[in-house]
Amino acid sequence: MKTLLIFVILASLSYAKDYTKNKEVQTFIQMLVQEYNMNQNYLKTLFSSVTQYETPLRIFSKKVKKKRTPREIAALKKRYPKYGAWDRYSKHKISNTRAIQGANFIQKHQEIFNKVQQRYGVPKEYIAAIIGIETVYGNNVGKYPVFDNLTTLAFEKNRRNKFFKHQLKKFIHLSHTQKFHPKNVKGSYAGAIGLGQFMPSNYEAYGVDYNGDGRITLQKAGDAIASIANYLKKNGWKTGKPVATRVSYKGERYHGYKTGYKTAYDRADLKGISPKKKWNYKGKVRLIKLNRKNYDELWYGADNFRVLARYNHSAYYAMSVHQLAMKIKKILDEN
């Protein structure tokens, strides 16, 4: 009954559209024919009936809010009286249940994880944590048709047209080289695919055919696990180096040095801040502030923390991956 209700709601928020009448799409088709030697009639058939969903377009048509107003902050505090921003963000992402699921996922695919960790030098718990946060270990890979959503976002007015046009081009090229029908793939509302939610451009740049079947299928555990490890390695993951550690500072709210994963410091320059545990890392660090209800947690983030933040450009995201990974590791170590 619940599934039927979801289908009815989605159906009521979508409609079919013929994009072959759009001059911009006509030019796009010609580009695909010239660059990839694709069949023009085949492409016209693809674009002749595109299901347009309102949700993705509504999300990307909104203006980006640079900073919440005092009124918006007060409204959030009233709605979530027990939580700060970090508490709200991390509540489900790094729960004990999610960590147990992560440990079970590693045990289920133990051989793959061991081989991938040995090859790429990325700890299995971090790969599993990303899959857990992105898709709950493959249980929520997305229900939107990727081709339809990327077409809509590429050619209907929104704040990221150029980005989505590039992703659509990469996706169609992938369907051509990997031999799958673009209408058969489902993903997130933004067009992300598979257990690790790769956008098509990352699929092409970092995807790994782990099982050697001649195709990169990120809906399969082996290819997804290896591809995530490959992504982190190519973006600078340093084997055997730490990710983050909590630090102390004076007071309950931190208003000192600039925080965030983009700003790096020499530890000697950060006066009044020290790790709560012994930390021998010698490289530059980032200051990561986690807003809680009554205080701010402050952390050092190493170079590997920055790598995690590249996967999804957010310090909160990178920290949720780190903390979930640590929970998963603890469960594995205890078993």
Q: For residues 329 and 126, is the Cβ–Cβ distance under 8 A?
A: no
In this predicted structure, the answer to whether residue 3 has a pLDDT above a threshold of 50 is: no
Query: How much is the average pLDDT of 294-320?
Result: 97
Tokens, residue 295 = 């205080």
Closest by alpha carbon to 168, among 309, 56, 6, 313? 56
Please give the Cα distance from 112 to 222 (Å, whole number): 6
Alpha-carbon span 10 to 111, nearest angstrom = 39
Digit-coded pLDDT (tens) for 225-235: 999 999 999 99
pLDDT reported for residue 9:
45
Give yes or no for a contact between 327 and 96, defined as CB atoms under 8 angstroms apart.
yes
**Assigned token pair, 276:** 């709560």
Tokens of 302: 């190493």
- Nearest-angstrom CA–CA distance, 139 and 331: 21
**What pLDDT score does 69 carry?**
74
CA distance 209 to 185: 18
The chain-wide mean pLDDT, for the chain, equals 91
Specify the pLDDT at position 310.
96
Are 123 and 325 within 8 A, CB to CB? yes
Packing angle between helix 146-155 and helix 23-36, nearest 10 degrees? 120
Residue 67 has pLDDT above 90, yes or no: no
Tell me the average pLDDT across 62-66: 61
Neighbours of 279 (CB within 10 A): 17
Close Cβ partners of 194 (under 8 Å, ≥ 6 residues apart) = 135, 141, 187, 203, 217, 218, 219, 223, 224, 227
Residue 54 is given by DSSP the state H
Task: Give pLDDT, residue 2.
Answer: 46
How far apart CA 53 and CA 61 sit, in angstroms, is: 13
Cβ density class 316-335: b for 16+ within 10 Å, e for less: bbbbbbbbbbbbbbebbeee
Query: CA 241 to CA 123: how far, in whole Å?
Result: 11
Domain residue limits, the chain: 244-334
Mean pLDDT across 154-166: 94
According to the model, what pLDDT value does residue 66 have? 60
Is the Cβ–Cβ distance between 210 and 112 less than 8 Å? yes
**200: closest CA among 176, 220, 226?**
176
Residue 65: predicted pLDDT: 58
Q: Which of 38-52, 59-73, 190-204 has the lowest mean pLDDT?
A: 59-73
* Mean pLDDT to the nearest integer, 243-260: 96
3-state secondary structure at position 291: strand
Sign of CA dihedral 112, 118, 120, 125: positive
The per-residue pLDDT for range 284-303, each reduced to its tens digit, is: 999 999 999 999 999 999 99
The pLDDT of residue 73: 66
Query: Could you tell me the fold of the domain covering 244-334?
Result: Lysozyme (1.10.530)
For residue 13, the model assigns a pLDDT of: 64
pLDDT-derived band at 78 (thresholds 50, 70, 90) equals low
> Higher pLDDT residue, 5 or 194?
194
| Pair 229, 176: CB distance under 8 Å | no
